[in-house]
Chains A and B, each alone.
Chain A
Amino acid sequence: MTSGEFFQFTSPQRTEAGLQALDRLPNLLRSLGLSKPLLITDMGVRKAGLTELISSILQASGGMRFADEFDSVPPDSDTGTIADLARYWHAGTFDCLLALGGGSVIDTAKAGNILISTGKDDLYQFQGYDNIPGPLKPLIVIPTTAGTGSEATSVSVIKDAERHRKLAFCSPWLVPTAAVLDPRMTMTLSKAITAATGMDALAHAVESYIGLAKNPFSDSFALRAVELISKFLPVSLKAPHDREARLQMLTASHLAGIAFSNSMVSLVHTIGHCAGAVCGIPHGVCMGILLPEALRFNLHRSASHIGEMLLPLAGRDISLAVPREEHPERFILALKEFRQHIHELSENTLPLRFCDIRDSMDSPVMTPEHMILIAREAAGDPSRFYNPEDISEAEIHAVLKASYWGYSLDQDLVKKGHQK
């Protein structure tokens, strides 16, 4: 985007962040005039004891409590769960939704809120971009991972249980009313999840900085997110109980969420969504593997933007030591070095190539047939709108192959577009 061009930016949300931020939850609810929250969560969060912690915080503040709990959100939530949630809401008396969990829980709460607030039972009619007619019920979100950023975004993606595809909803009305970022919620995450979700947050920040919808506001959020991830993801892995590092990662994920909610994501997610759907590879793992080669694909179109991220990722010393024209290539190298570092800190639980991901029979999870299918499916992923360069099925296949084996994409294979 150049000066004088139109852009829009939405971030209407209240954020409470701090080492003890959840202690302010009762106050937050009261200040919003809310007293009967429906808790939405999953069994993993419940087993980790996080619901009890929040329950005790509410109890300690004048006997406040959840009006009820909906804890049957699956890892990859679908339209059936959304319908169940809406029915659950209408069967009780609630005045807000309180989502406690990772991406699936938060997206379920957002999509459920569409049905709850509109009183409709057909989620399909709200698919698309700017297709929700007005404000929804208050939604408070407490993220339990530092990566999805969904607590800050205007997007919800849900699996269509009948048609076996993803339904995407994108509207400013989907931005939650408030988010509470408290490191006590992420302290018990395993190294594998910490690493993968951290790479997801990094992908959000990087892609929002190079996409077609980038703007000066989202840029500032994205750059700060890259800087925080660069500093605090390694610390979160070295010292999982470092509360400050965990809080900074939640903050980074939130900033990246605000950035990509406004400027969207592109090629890494185009391929990553489909690789996840076809092969069942965790989203954050896909992001970490695909990021360098997807950036290399866009190098001819976004070199200056890619180069501008070298300073926040690699720091002043490297940034000053490298001539400016080499910053884009150096950024991709720095990204690979960072990823390698995270891989080692996570005790090798963050795969660096698709070929390293094996099933229980030690066979590769992604096969050549899968790659063909992923390339075909990616044609229908809406994030491709936002990629700086158009991309064909053959090119997606080339990026996948490079990411599968871990070699650098041959830039000569990329057909260059013409638009400014």
Chain B
Amino acid sequence: MGTAASRIYLSLLFWVTGRAVQAAWRTDREVRREFDRLPDLFSFRLSVYPSGPGLTIMKKEGTVRYIRQGEEGPADLHMMIKSLSHGMSLFTFQESTALSASRGRIAIYGDLSYACSIVRVLDRVEIYLLPRVIAKRAVKRYESPPAKHRKRFMIYLRVLFSP
């Protein structure tokens, strides 16, 4: 895939994932529990180096919001994917976030204990977004959440229609 196509693909995936994190926080108890560990006004950004597409999530006054590109400020935790090709490996689900980080493809600026929570959230969200056969490749351990199909439906609805 060419550079421009990769950027468009990744932009779309970041948008869907960012919105899905917000939706999963409303839908899934485990995701909510992970965010409960994080302080209020905590913001997290996942992006491609140097100025590639990315997503920003903020926890504010007890709610979790996806922040649109261009509206984000500096993040408390920034996970920066070191190249577009590494971003493609991650978002074509050839490897999990944990594996990508352990292979040095992601720089992490901020508290690493918060990064652990965020990686678990991303894994959980991928289990909802992706078919089992793909999600198994994208996460370290595939565990089917209770009422997965109902919650998946809710998350997709919220990705598409929630404000």
Contacts and interface: CB of A to CB of B under 8 A. Distances in A.
A324 to B, nearest CB: 27
B107 A419 contact: no
Nearest to B33: A379
Contact of A127 (B95, B105, B112): B112
Nearest to B123: A390
A212 B111 contact: no
B77 to A, nearest CB: 8
B99 A419 contact: yes
Interface stretch (B18-26, B61-69, B136-144): B136-144
A198 to B, nearest CB: 27
Nearest to A167: B111
A212 B113 contact: no
B108 interface: yes
B16 interface: no
Contacts of B105: 6
A381 B102 contact: no
A128 interface: yes
B107 A130 contact: yes
Nearest to B138: A419
Interface stretch (B2-10, B114-122, B145-153): B114-122
Given A380-B116, A382-B116, A128 B107 contact: yes
Interface in A114-138: 124, 127-131
A223 to B, nearest CB: 20
A7 interface: yes
Contact of A385 (B98, B110, B136, B139): B98
A6 B108 contact: no
Nearest to B106: A129
A261 B98 CA distance: 17
Contacts of A358: none
Interface string A208-246: 000111000000000000000000000000000000000
Nearest to A377: B113
B101 interface: yes
B140 A417 contact: yes
Interface in A380-409: 380-382, 384-386, 389-390
A168 interface: yes
Contacts, number: 92
Interface string B22-42: 000000000000000100000
Contacts of B141: 389-390, 415-419
Interface string A193-214: 0000000000000000001110
Contact of B113 (A8, A381, A419): A381
B102 A211 contact: yes
A6 B103 contact: yes
A5 B103 CA distance: 9
B111 A213 contact: no
Given A212-B98, A212-B102, A385-B119, A128 B112 contact: yes
A396 B143 CA distance: 17
Given A127-B110, A129-B107, A130-B107, A389 B140 contact: yes
B115 A382 contact: yes
Given A129-B108, A168-B112, A382-B113, A418 B103 contact: no
Contacts of A390: 98, 139-141
Contacts of A381: 113, 116
Contact of B142 (A382, A385, A418): A418
B108 A130 contact: yes
Interface of B: 37, 95-96, 98-99, 101-117, 119-120, 136-137, 139-143
24 contacts: A6-B103, A127-B110, A127-B111, A128-B110, A128-B115, A129-B106, A129-B108, A130-B108, A131-B110, A168-B112, A212-B98, A213-B102, A213-B104, A264-B102, A380-B116, A381-B113, A385-B98, A385-B101, A385-B119, A389-B140, A389-B141, A390-B98, A390-B140, A417-B142
Given A390-B139, A417-B142, 6 more contacts: A128-B107, A165-B113, A381-B113, A389-B141, A415-B141, A416-B141
